[in-house]
Structure 1
Amino acid sequence: MATVSVTQPWTYVLELPRDPSALAVARATLRAVLTEHRMTELADEAKRLTSELIVGAPAHAGDTLRLRLRGDEGGRLQVSVGGHVVELPEPERHAASATPLAGCATCAELKAAWRQAEARCSGGDEAVHAGIALRRHFRTTHWLPQGATG
């Protein structure tokens, strides 16, 4: 049997239905791809990231999620999760007493960038990165109460 060398860079895309088995299928696929490309040292961190992205995918991303795995010559792995944005949700309306961050210009700018990215690329890589930027800013700049999630 002949051995075939895999050319670099490479990309795999997997469409996942929104059902309880999606996470297990995504993790098994990720593990198989990393094993095939001799990148098993990245497996634990990549599985954690993939799990967080799939579980945290916005509900308005549609019925199908797309897991994209990319590798390059430098041994780097890019994991992205997106979906087809069926309809963007309306901005949340809060009572005046419930808006402690209303004055944060950075939060407003990042949230606007996230919504624009989702509209442009149907929830693809750019939207995921914009969403991560918004969450990172919120978590590092604003203190959340004990036990709160965000």
Structure 2
Amino acid sequence: MPETEPWEYSLYIPNDPRAVTICRRTVRLILTMHGLIHHADTAELLATELTANAVLHTKGPAALRLRWRSGVLRIGAWDADPEPPEPPSDLAALVDAEQGRGLALVRACADVWGWQPLTRNGNRGKYVWCELAAA
């Protein structure tokens, strides 16, 4: 049974493509432990796309954040690049593309998504997030 109490996890990751796999597996483990296994497949896909963008398209560290509150799972990735993400294309137009599908998949699979610039302790970056509502 899913938990009703809010919780939040943050995983700080290096700029290393192997971090994407670690994040994906960590998401499944967290959701399993909190009784939210029915969200695991979609959440893994979303976390993979967000962290892959953060790691592959920036030069600095990144972080993955999972938050459960009021029946909504928020998945977000922070990176040190303050530039906004490229707007997602229509997923149907990207069927044969070898890259560029990440945010289109996020837009298609999440209930809502967005991004916001962040400034902390003089450091600039952005936070790209999406949400899944409880089924």
- Same-fold call, TM > 0.5? yes
Structure 2 residue aligned with 1:83: 79
Largest Rg, 1 or 2: 1
- What's the offset of the Cα at 1:24? 1.0
Higher strand share: 2
Q: Match for 2:39: what amino acid?
A: L
Residue 57 of structure 2 is aligned to residue 59 of structure 1: yes
TM-score by length of 2: 0.58
Does structure 2 conserve the Cα–Cα contact (< 8 Å) formed by 1:9 and 1:71?
yes
Q: Which runs of 5+ in 2 are unaligned?
A: 85-114, 131-135
Structure 2 residue aligned with 1:118: 117
Does structure 1 conserve the Cα–Cα contact (< 8 Å) formed by 2:17 and 2:52?
no
TM-score by length of 1: 0.52
Q: What is the distance in 2 between the residues matched to 1:14 and 1:49?
A: 15
Out of 68, 72, 77, which is 2:69 matched to? Answer: 72
Q: Secondary structure at the match of 1:25?
A: helix
Residue 3 of structure 2 is aligned to residue 12 of structure 1: no
- What's the offset of the Cα at 1:88? 5.2
Of all paired residues, the percent bearing the same amino acid is: 34
1 or 2 for the larger relative contact order (CA 8 Å, sep ≥6)? 2
- Return closer, same or farther for 1:59/1:39 CA change in 2, 3 Å cut-off: same
Q: CA RMSD in A?
A: 2.8
Q: Match for 2:74: what amino acid?
A: Q
Does structure 1 conserve the Cα–Cα contact (< 8 Å) formed by 2:65 and 2:77?
yes
Q: Secondary structure at the match of 2:62?
A: strand
- What's the offset of the Cα at 1:8? 1.8
Higher helix share: 1
Q: Which runs of 5+ in 1 are unaligned?
A: 1-5, 90-113, 133-150
Q: Secondary structure at the match of 1:23?
A: helix
